[in-house]
Chain A
Amino acid sequence: MENRPLEYDYSVSKLFIYTSLGIGFVGMLVGVIIAWEMAFPAINTIFGDGAIAEYTNFSRLRVLHTDSVIYGFVLSGVWATWYYVGQRVLKVSMAESKTLMYVGYAHFWIYLFAAVVLVISLLMGITQSKEYAEFEWPLDLGITTVWLLWGASIAGLIGLRREKTLYISIWYYIATFLAVAMLHLLNNLAIPTYYASNGIGAWYHSVSMYAGTNDALVQWWFGHNAVAFVLTTPIIAMIYYFLPKESGQAIYSYKLSLLSFWGLMFIYLWAGGHHILFSTVPDWVQTLGSVFSVILILPSWGSAINMLLTMKGEWQQVASNPIIKFMVMGSTFYMFSTLEGPIQAIKSVNAIAHFTDWIIGHVHDGALGWVVFMIMGAVYHMIPRLYGREIYSKKIMATQFWIQTLGIVLYFTSMWIAGITQGMMWRAHDEFGNLAYSFIDTVTVLHPYFVIRAVGGTLYLIGFAMFIYNVVMTARNGRRVEASELHNTTPMAD
């Protein structure tokens, strides 16, 4: 048994990879469209101002963008890595259990079905309006099912494992599973009105269990941690596997991993208050949110530092291997956004930053620089191993890396300048003590920044399209390589 290498079964992983690429492209395309719409509003009615405008205008598309990139692109990326990493670090193959295979397939297909329904329902304007939890109750139930299936897969693989000690990545996958389950269930509690009124109105409509300030409190406890446990912890799970694996280096410090993990678990959950500073929730809740956000820098940076130190003495790898470049740059942007977030969470800074584009900048240096870079790095590492082929083109990777980095820089610099400018203009009084600007003055002044952002986003999307092309060509045309060549550094053709 021990001598023969395990035959891992990657079929579910492959399905998730392609889903991730597909939805990722569409989701970011929609992002690019709404970015251009903010720069040139005439695009809202590009297909006329009649019936179709309802589906092409900014406000319908914006939710589609956020939910499809987060729950379509990122989650399927996360699951693609789970069905790859999980087997390998637990030393157990999915193929060893028929049940696990069924669970994996059910997980994928039900998820895909839910994703399609989700897109349609959002386009139709069926939404509960709570950010990142927009779906109505039938979809919430669907999501719960998908989530439980993933849980079953985690429990199953862990149950069968040969490696008794759980690797760091597994800690983070487990945390992701538990936290999102808790958040999703509590935030979405709602009463379906159709049943409560004995059959009146739309069958899918529901009304939140919480009202007003309470609803806000629960929502942002959810919202902040949805960010934490969808855009952070599973991505950390990835980097803890793919960076050491690709570079062949051992993790710099177990203790640092440990302190960062438990610190993150404990501190993250308190910080949600920073989304509702100066609102009607009590001062002490807001203060908790601010203070814990500042502490949060440390466990966040802990993981990033651990990764950077893992590359100690390995500069030539960083310089020559684009996959490692993606991951090192990802860690850097992770540090940037986890310092930016806490700074924005300081009450006096939030007084300006909140409600402005600076928040949008923060979101995207985290999302584009950290989340997407890591997922692309992970896919680039996995694809050759799924197909026994060499990466189709290293040149594309390198070009894409710089195009996308430029895109991110344009995105966040324009947005933070826009945000601070607008925030200051809102606050300004003139020599007579009157408001210095009407609202519209603070909108028109942003036009150049909206254009720069849209250009940055377009560049990023172009880079992503190059990535998809490279992946598909690798799977189809890449030169076949021996298993022995796939141990650490991924083979790539120039």
Chain B
Amino acid sequence: MNKIYLWGFIVTASMLGFTYVSVLGSKGGFNGDIVNILTIAGAAALVIITVFVVIKYVRQMQTDTADGELVNESWDGIGEYLNPVPMGWAIIYLMTMVWAMWYFTMGYPVQSYSQIGEYNEDVDVHNKKFEAKYASITGDRLVEMGESVFLAECKICHGLTADGIDGTASNLNVRLEANVVKNAIVNGSNNNLLGMEMPMPNREFLFNAAGSAITDAEIDTVSAYVANGFTGKGSDVYLSACASCHKENGMGTDYGPNIAKYTPQLVVNVLNHGKKGVIGTMPAFNRLNAKQKEAAGAYVTSLSE
């Protein structure tokens, strides 16, 4: 065998090997996805065909000799042979033409392909596959699933560790930070946190033990109290101003959300309606399905436990 074929094999094998190792070693992988498989096949065909066709012509440069009848003209000394076209080339050319004509007149119309139709089928298959599975995902598995949602969708704002990236989104490792509580008291809150329109009144309608509107100092105290997990000073203010809606221990009622810890339902409500607060605006996530939201809720709840 000629040396050049050996080189051809080496080049092809190393390119494909390198690609194989890098691509499949990475996180994508085939996943049994036909598109992935076709792509790799296409890439392999590209290298193999080019390398070996070129080698064929290099062999001709090495061993063949040029001859044939020349045309009459000579352009600046350049001549042209009247050689016939290479057979292989001509045949494949004709075959692709015939294939194209067949494809347009028969193949394509008969298949009546539609990309949207294909999409709908894919979605159906996907949904069927997971609908059955979803029912059995509970407990720790649900938290795991929630983590997967979080890493794909939420970490962009809340950060990989859900710390809120320096206060640009909520720190989900704690239920509430003092500035958020303070904002709710001062301005009220109106974010459908209970899953429906149920606003919290602002400071003018929150009363301390003396029965008058809550004061600046009291707001600071009670905000710290809530943010610290209901410890320290401020329980008196809390009991008079807040407990009626949020319960003594902050675990919430039908008309005030849980402010002691996250609940999956609270998170789902936030995902359904978004939230606009002192930190910024959290968008609603309509493109997640119910199970994904539930899972995200379970995950977020688990973070501060």
Question: With A and B bound together, what is the CA distance between A123 and B42 in angstroms?
Answer: 39
Task: List 28 contacting pairs A-B, 8 Å CB cutoff, sorted by A.
Answer: A89-B75, A167-B78, A168-B80, A252-B66, A253-B83, A256-B85, A259-B93, A287-B103, A291-B104, A295-B97, A297-B96, A301-B89, A309-B60, A312-B60, A313-B60, A313-B64, A313-B65, A314-B66, A351-B35, A352-B39, A420-B23, A425-B27, A427-B36, A428-B28, A434-B152, A438-B151, A445-B27, A488-B77
Residue A318 CB within 8 A of the other chain: yes
Residue B209 CB within 8 A of the other chain: no
Task: For B19, list chain A residues within 8 Å (CB).
Answer: 413, 416-417, 420
Task: For A89, list chain B residues within 8 Å (CB).
Answer: 75-76, 78
Residue B279 CB within 8 A of the other chain: no
Q: Are A346 and B130 in contact (CB under 8 A)?
A: no
Given contacts A251-B81, A283-B115, A432-B144, 7 further A-B contacts (CB under 8 A): A253-B81, A254-B83, A309-B86, A313-B63, A424-B31, A427-B35, A438-B156
Asked if A294 meets B46 with Cβ closer than 8 Å, knowing A89-B76, A438-B153, the reply is no
CB-defined interface of A248-264 with B at 8 Å, one 1/0 digit per residue? 01111111110100010
Residue B92 CB within 8 A of the other chain: yes
Task: For B295, list chain A residues within 8 Å (CB).
Answer: 432
- What's the least CB distance linking B147 to chain A, in Å? 10
Report the stretch among A23-31, A192-200, A224-232, A333-341 that lies at the interface: A333-341
CB-defined interface of B7-45 with A at 8 Å, one 1/0 digit per residue? 000000001001100110011111101111011101101
- What's the least CB distance linking A405 to chain B, in Å? 12
Residue A207 CB within 8 A of the other chain: no
Closest residue to B20 on the A side, CB-wise? A417
Closest residue to B127 on the A side, CB-wise? A433
Question: With A and B bound together, what is the CA distance between A336 and B54 in angstroms?
Answer: 10
Q: Are A305 and B57 in contact (CB under 8 A)?
A: yes
Question: With A and B bound together, what is the CA distance between A301 and B90 in angstroms?
Answer: 11
Q: Which listed residue, A251, A254, A425, A430, touches B26 by the CB 8 Å rule? A: A425
Task: For B54, list chain A residues within 8 Å (CB).
Answer: 308, 332, 335
Residue B50 CB within 8 A of the other chain: yes
Residue A46 CB within 8 A of the other chain: no
- What's the least CB distance linking A349 to chain B, in Å? 5
Closest residue to B28 on the A side, CB-wise? A424
- What's the least CB distance linking A381 to chain B, in Å? 12
Q: Are B39 and A433 in contact (CB under 8 A)?
A: no
Closest residue to B86 on the A side, CB-wise? A305
- What's the least CB distance linking A83 to chain B, in Å? 14
Residue B70 CB within 8 A of the other chain: yes
- What's the least CB distance linking B160 to chain A, in Å? 10
Residue A113 CB within 8 A of the other chain: no
Task: For B58, list chain A residues within 8 Å (CB).
Answer: 308, 315
CB-defined interface of B47-61 with A at 8 Å, one 1/0 digit per residue? 001100110011011
Q: Which listed residue, B23, B42, B61, B145, touches A421 by the CB 8 Å rule? A: B23
Residue A485 CB within 8 A of the other chain: no
Asked if A432 meets B137 with Cβ closer than 8 Å, knowing A251-B78, A315-B61, A487-B77, the reply is yes
Q: Which listed residue, A254, A314, A437, touches B27 by the CB 8 Å rule? A: A437
Closest residue to A449 on the B side, CB-wise? B22
Task: For B29, list chain A residues within 8 Å (CB).
Answer: 424, 428
Residue B211 CB within 8 A of the other chain: no
Q: Are A424 and B151 in contact (CB under 8 A)?
A: no
Residue A131 CB within 8 A of the other chain: no
Task: For B151, list chain A residues within 8 Å (CB).
Answer: 438, 441
Q: Are B86 and A343 in contact (CB under 8 A)?
A: no
Q: Which of A240-281 contact B (CB under 8 A)?
A: 241, 244-245, 249-257, 259, 263, 278
Question: With A and B bound together, what is the CA distance between A424 and B144 in angstroms?
Answer: 23
Which residue among A163, A278, A432 has the maximum number of chain B CB atoms within 10 Å of its CB?
Answer: A432
Task: For A91, list chain B residues within 8 Å (CB).
Answer: 76
Residue A440 CB within 8 A of the other chain: yes
Residue A302 CB within 8 A of the other chain: yes
Residue A155 CB within 8 A of the other chain: no
Question: With A and B bound together, what is the CA distance between A54 and B128 in angstroms?
Answer: 50
Task: For A417, list chain B residues within 8 Å (CB).
Answer: 18-19, 22-23
Residue B292 CB within 8 A of the other chain: yes
Q: Are B130 and A348 in contact (CB under 8 A)?
A: no
Q: Which of B90-149 contact A (CB under 8 A)?
A: 90, 92-93, 96-97, 100, 103-104, 108, 113-115, 126, 129-130, 133-134, 137, 144-145, 148-149
Q: Are A430 and B46 in contact (CB under 8 A)?
A: no
CB-defined interface of B245-286 with A at 8 Å, one 1/0 digit per residue? 000000000000000000000000000000000000000000
Residue A311 CB within 8 A of the other chain: yes
Closest residue to A286 on the B side, CB-wise? B115
Q: Which of A284-309 contact B (CB under 8 A)?
A: 284, 286-287, 291-292, 294-295, 297-299, 301-302, 305, 308-309
Residue B305 CB within 8 A of the other chain: no
Closest residue to B296 on the A side, CB-wise? A434
Q: Which listed residue, B35, B79, B103, B155, touches A250 by the CB 8 Å rule? A: B79
Task: For A165, list chain B residues within 8 Å (CB).
Answer: 73
Question: With A and B bound together, what is the CA distance between A263 and B94 in angstroms?
Answer: 11
Residue B82 CB within 8 A of the other chain: yes
Task: For B57, list chain A residues within 8 Å (CB).
Answer: 305, 308-309
Asked if A244 meets B78 with Cβ closer than 8 Å, knowing A249-B66, A417-B18, A432-B145, the reply is yes
Question: With A and B bound together, what is the CA distance between A263 and B90 in angstroms?
Answer: 12
- What's the least CB distance linking B288 to chain A, in Å? 9
Question: With A and B bound together, what is the CA distance between A433 and B5 in angstroms?
Answer: 46
Q: Which of A330-371 contact B (CB under 8 A)?
A: 332, 335-336, 339-340, 343-344, 346, 348-349, 351-353
Which residue among A250, A339, A437, A440 has the maximum number of chain B CB atoms within 10 Å of its CB?
Answer: A250
Residue A493 CB within 8 A of the other chain: no
Question: With A and B bound together, what is the CA distance between A351 and B34 in angstroms?
Answer: 11
Residue A481 CB within 8 A of the other chain: no
Residue A423 CB within 8 A of the other chain: yes
Q: Which 4 pairs from chain A and chain B are nearest by CB?
A: A424-B28, A250-B79, A433-B130, A308-B57
Residue A406 CB within 8 A of the other chain: no
Question: With A and B bound together, what is the CA distance between A413 and B80 in angstroms?
Answer: 37
Question: With A and B bound together, what is the CA distance between A423 and B36 in angstroms?
Answer: 9
Q: Are A295 and B28 in contact (CB under 8 A)?
A: no
Question: With A and B bound together, what is the CA distance between A235 and B261 in angstroms?
Answer: 69
Question: With A and B bound together, what is the CA distance between A210 and B146 in angstroms?
Answer: 45
Task: For A286, list chain B residues within 8 Å (CB).
Answer: 115
Task: For A278, list chain B residues within 8 Å (CB).
Answer: 115
Q: Are A255 and B83 in contact (CB under 8 A)?
A: yes
Task: For A440, list chain B residues within 8 Å (CB).
Answer: 156
Closest residue to A85 on the B side, CB-wise? B76
Which residue among B43, B75, B79 has the maximum number of chain A CB atoms within 10 Å of its CB?
Answer: B75
Q: Are B78 and A308 in contact (CB under 8 A)?
A: no
Residue A435 CB within 8 A of the other chain: yes
Q: Which of A76-132 contact B (CB under 8 A)?
A: 88-89, 91
Asked if A416 meets B43 with Cβ closer than 8 Å, knowing A250-B80, A432-B145, A438-B151, the reply is yes
Closest residue to B49 on the A side, CB-wise? A339
CB-defined interface of A57-89 with B at 8 Å, one 1/0 digit per residue? 000000000000000000000000000000011
- What's the least CB distance linking A283 to chain B, in Å? 6
CB-defined interface of A396-429 with B at 8 Å, one 1/0 digit per residue? 0000000000000000010011001111110111
